[in-house]
Chains A and B, each alone.
Chain A
Amino acid sequence: MPAADPWQTAEIAGPKKASVITKPAMAQAVIHRAQHPVLIIGHYAATIDIGERKLVDYLLDLARAHAIPVIATGHVNRTLKERGYTGAVIMPAVEAGHRIADPCWNGPDGKGPCDLAIIAGLPYPMEWTLLSGLKHFAPYMKTITLDNTYQPNANWSFANIPVKEWQENLEAITVTIGTEGQTDV
């Protein structure tokens, strides 16, 4: 399948489309550059298998390693708590988008406006529309999705990649960033 087609075939956006993450270093650089990123975790993260682990495990590794505040959407917070992560702010994904798009919002941790939203685990069309809102109305920030399906409305997205390749990417991103700091939230 072509590398940069939306996963849901008809979800074609417009002239501005996501850059494809072709190697983990790209995602690492984006996340490193961010001064105040936020991680939005959708409920599918608790159910998607990646090797022996779930997507949520990789995302929590990332949050913990880089001290990234988490917004838990859907009912994923239950899973976060089961994994010992109790610091998430709970709100619907669209509310998270609305707040992130406000340059005066101080983020889920109250430390200042977000300059990067890392998103994964939402239903594909919901993530698509949420990213569209941020693409158009939050020009001062960037978005990256860590799902293995291409989201054209993000600034950066994987293409539609197989689970094994996805796993390798996520492991590389998490491990490298993990060396930067081990702050738990």
Chain B
Amino acid sequence: MLPLTEKKIALTIKEMESGLGRIRDLSISIGKLSAADWTEPEGPTPYPSLTALRTWDRTLLSRYQPFYMPFCDLCCLCTYGKCDLTGTKKGACGITMPAQQSRTVLLSACIGAATHTSHARELVTYAIKKAGRDCPINPGGNAIGVEAPIIRLVCGEKPEILADLETVLDYCESQITALLAVTHTGQEGDPLDFESKVLHAGMIDHVGMEVADLAQISALGYPKADPDAPLVALGMGTVDTTKPVILVIGHNVPPSVAIIDYLHNENLSDHVEVTGICCTSIDATRYSPRAKIIGPMSWQLRYIRSGIPDVIVVDEQCIRTDALAEAEAIHAPFIATSEKNCLGLPDRTNDTADAIVTDLVGGKLAGVLILDPEKAGEVAVRVARTVAPARKNVRASTDPATIREQVTACTQCRLCQRACPNDLKIPQGMKAAGAGELSLLAGLYETCVGCGRCEQACTKKIPVHSLIVAAAAERIKNEKFVIRTGRGAIQDIEIRNVGGPIVLGEIPGVIGFVGCANYANGGKEVAEMSVEFAKRRYIVCTSGCTAMSIGMYRDEEGKTPYEQFPGSFSAGGIVNVGSCVANAHIAGATIKIASVFARRNLRGNYAEIADYVHNRVGAVGVAWGAMSQKAAAIAAGFWRLGIPVVVGPHGTKYRRMLLGRADHDADWYVHDQRTGEDVYAGPAPEHLFVAAETKEEAMVLVAKLCMRPNDTTRGRAMKLTHYIDLSQRNLGTIPDDIPRYVRTTADIPVTLKGEITRILAQSDWKERPIPDPTLLSRDKPSPPKER
């Protein structure tokens, strides 16, 4: 089979006489991107294969070794099994536990990458249908020169029109298929080769995400790299329940767009509430700021059970698989719109809207599958308007007397607590509620992740989750916040302004708070962390469910973080780039620093740019509530760029960390491109993937992980100031690894000079040079490994 790049065909005919007549200036391109005039020299790895970046991966993985924490001792993927892989045992196929764990991580990353890429394919197809194949890719008009940093870097292509993105997706799909094949029984057996492929899956995931967001930004008129993207309503308390209410859940925006368009075309926009949960709601607000975001994915049960939604429309990803049953329980008609999520519903795509509306309104069908976004949009609006008046009485919340009555069945068996991911003290809340005191039960609302496992565990069939939500009714009424909707990409001018300060270390770091809402201690923590770092003049980026959680808290003046801090990519900004797929813009910003600021060539030049980012751009990802396979893939994409990721305590369930050993000096040598010498650069960054146990620990870790070998003395002093201050405040002490991060006395923060100098004097610290660092083997001989 020919590699993809060789399948491109470009045929140009200036003039030809044929039996059909005269043909002039005919140009046909098949599988060929349109930017043929892009003159940037091509790097060594355009459209990299599974092994093209294996050397770079091994470089990273030799520093950041996997620490596996199996989530299950068995392999049950084939009929040889179950195989017990405990310790050094091998399975029937010969696989070891480390290989099995890395294989599972690869499976997870493949699922994530496939999901984003499939989503991207849907969006590109939709965007082409809506705006045409020649619709220009336009993430920010004149403000954006590097329109697709990840695609340029990985594929070595410069897409200009929507049709160009199809070729990119061809590549992604071929790679994901091959990566998935790697996980078959009897394929890869080495854990580090599995891990290299995890990184490959992550990189592909980032390409897929970039394609998806470029397509929707270009075709749907979203904010284009706009730091002042509109503030939009967030929270259950913002919904006008006197109007018909539509709820959209998922990630793929076309049905939401169709609902909004139908309302607009029928002059009904003021008469129907369009509300959403999860990323599709962020994208709906990017399309129309009138749409309202209810909250992260963990808000599904509580919002549906409130009875407020009159119609529920689901598309794809992160939707509760029992959403249909929940909708039936509140008698809300249900519309599924994705081939990936049919839920057993009858396919009514080819029926008339009139017929579908009749069946849903009349109760003949609880739900339907409509694989035509426009038709789904029309049906949703018409059904909502028809059923809403009769559904008003569904919107009654459970009163305190009813709660007391229902909790009397509780036997205090504690099975609910044992089923709860966060070990919430539900039995205590139930007991107090039985005695008329609801505050304990209500207090659980903040840290409840909305999974409903408590109800599955209850042998008395008590609707535990519903009672927690009912007890917190007053709090829910006050869920009235704002969030700055997704701005999309980062402007080139913003990169130019901050590129120097970031690379030199004078902006102490770029922190991406991203991912799902499986928080161990509520979403408030991620809001507090983002505010803390914004106040310290880091650049804070965010997206998806985390962006919503950040918006759900106010300061003393009643302002949400989005009202307190600007939306610009600048020191002290809180930058919401958009939905999950917009995470590509955060990775893209780090890549653009190499391109726009440092003028490095991106084109098919992955290892050099990743080496640049790893050694010079103090970026850290924080996925505090990461839950999904998509989050795993997103993280893997950041790892391959050499960007560390911190997860919350539930993140250990991803089965392995990538941890450095600060005590192994030999691991931290870099090649100094100025002198040709190998130089000890300290453990910067110390880890590539690490779980933190608490918010306090995470903040110290993040500040530390922002350090890079390239920091100037001024930049390092600033980073050390934050690291030490956060450590003193949260851990009660100056970190004991300070000598590893002080390269010269000029690195020492002025305000801590005496104390740090004493610490250095008590260690065997010696001044060392600040390198022009690289890890690339083509420039750097292997450092001595003395352990």
A interface vs B, CB < 8 Å? 1, 7-10, 13-16, 42-43, 72-75, 77-78, 81-82, 89-90, 92-95, 97-99, 101-102, 104-105, 122-126, 129-130, 132-133, 135-137, 139
Contact = CB atoms under 8 A, between A and B. Distances in A.
16 contacts: A8-B421, A9-B415, A14-B86, A15-B84, A75-B730, A77-B733, A90-B735, A93-B691, A94-B67, A95-B690, A98-B659, A125-B649, A126-B652, A130-B69, A136-B97, A137-B97
Interface string B397-422: 00000000000000001110011010
B640 to A, nearest CB: 21
Most buried by A among B87, B692, B732, B736: B732
B68 A133 contact: yes
B746 interface: no
Given A99-B661, A126-B691, A73 B649 contact: no
A101 B693 contact: no
Contact of B692 (A1, A14, A92, A133): A92
Contact of A123 (B457, B649, B659): B649
A8 B520 CA distance: 14
A77 B418 contact: no
B731 A78 contact: yes
B202 interface: no
Contacts of B68: 133, 136-137
B665 to A, nearest CB: 14
Contacts of B69: 94, 97, 129-130, 132-133
B256 to A, nearest CB: 35
A102 B696 CA distance: 27
Contacts, number: 134
B694 A43 contact: yes
A135 B85 CA distance: 11
A52 to B, nearest CB: 20
Given A7-B418, A9-B418, A136-B68, A90 B691 contact: no
A101 B67 contact: yes
Nearest to A152: B73
Given A8-B419, A123-B693, A124-B423, A135 B86 contact: yes
Leading 10 A-B pairs by shortest Cβ distance:
A14-B73, A75-B696, A74-B693, A133-B69, A78-B732, A129-B652, A129-B69, A98-B67, A74-B694, A126-B649
Contacts of A78: 730-732
A129 B74 contact: no
Given A7-B418, A81-B732, A94-B690, A73 B697 contact: yes
Contacts of B687: 95
B732 A92 contact: no
Interface in B69-102: 69-74, 84-88, 97-98
Contacts of B657: 94, 98
Contacts of A8: 418-419, 421, 423
Question: Which residue of B71, B419, B520, B735 has the most chain A CB atoms within 10 A of its CB atom?
Answer: B71
Given A125-B652, A136-B97, A74 B697 contact: yes
B731 A90 contact: yes
Contacts of A13: 72-73
Chain B contact patch, size range: 35 or more
A104 to B, nearest CB: 7
B72 A14 contact: yes
A13 B70 CA distance: 9
Contacts of A139: 87-88
Interface centre among A14, A82, A136 (most CB of B within 10 A): A136
A148 B687 CA distance: 32
B88 A104 contact: no
Interface in B526-564: none
A14 B87 contact: no
Most A Cβ at <10 Å: residue of B68, B423, B693, B694: B693
Contacts of A14: 72-74, 84, 86
B650 interface: yes
B694 A15 contact: no
B67 A92 contact: no
A179 B659 CA distance: 39
Quick one: which of B652, B661, B733 has the most chain A CB within 10 A? B652
Given A132-B69, A133-B67, A125 B650 contact: yes
B701 interface: yes
Nearest to B733: A77
A1 to B, nearest CB: 8
A90 B733 contact: yes
B340 interface: no
Contacts of A74: 692-694, 696-697
Nearest to A86: B733
A16 B696 contact: no
Contacts of A94: 67, 69, 652, 657, 659, 690-691
Contacts of A93: 691, 693
Nearest to A105: B663
Contacts of A42: 693
Contacts of A43: 693-694, 697
A135 to B, nearest CB: 7
A99 B663 CA distance: 10
Nearest to B86: A16
B22 interface: no
Contacts of B414: 1
A95 B690 CA distance: 8
A42 B87 CA distance: 25
A90 B732 CA distance: 11
A70 B693 CA distance: 17
Contact of A129 (B65, B84, B653): B653
B733 A135 contact: no
Which of A75, A77, A105, A135 counts the most chain B CB atoms within 10 A?
A75
Contact of A132 (B71, B98, B650, B693): B71
A77 B419 CA distance: 30
Given A7-B418, A16-B73, A129-B653, 12 more contacts: A1-B413, A42-B693, A74-B693, A75-B697, A81-B733, A90-B735, A94-B657, A99-B663, A102-B661, A122-B693, A125-B653, A132-B73
Contacts of B690: 92, 94-95
Contacts of B649: 123, 125-126
Given A78-B730, A92-B701, A130-B652, A9 B457 contact: yes
B91 to A, nearest CB: 12
B646 to A, nearest CB: 9
B129 interface: no
A129 B87 contact: no
B787 interface: yes
Given A75-B696, A98-B659, A135-B86, A10 B74 contact: no
A16 B68 CA distance: 17
A90 B655 CA distance: 23
A133 B691 contact: no
Given A90-B731, A132-B71, A136-B97, A75 B694 contact: yes
A77 B652 contact: no
A92 B419 CA distance: 26
Interface string B726-748: 00001111011000000000000
A77 B732 contact: yes
Interface in B38-86: 65, 67-74, 84-86
A137 B457 CA distance: 33
B416 to A, nearest CB: 10
A61 to B, nearest CB: 20
A77 B700 CA distance: 13
Nearest to B101: A136
Interface in B662-700: 663, 687, 690-694, 696-697
A129 B71 contact: yes
A130 to B, nearest CB: 6
A23 to B, nearest CB: 24
A126 B690 CA distance: 12
Nearest to A121: B693
